[in-house]
Amino acid sequence: MSEKSKKKREQQVYTLLVQVGRKDGDGLPPDATGAAMLCYASGVDEAEAVRETVAILKQADLAVPCPTARKWAMTSARTNAS
**β-strand 12-20 against 35-43: which pairing, if any?**
antiparallel
What pLDDT does 44 receive? 93
Confidence check: pLDDT of 29 > 90: yes
With beta carbons less than 8 A apart as the criterion, state whether 78 and 12 touch. Answer: yes
pTM greater than 0.95? no
Whole-angstrom Cα distance, residue 54 to residue 68? 13
What pLDDT does 76 receive? 54
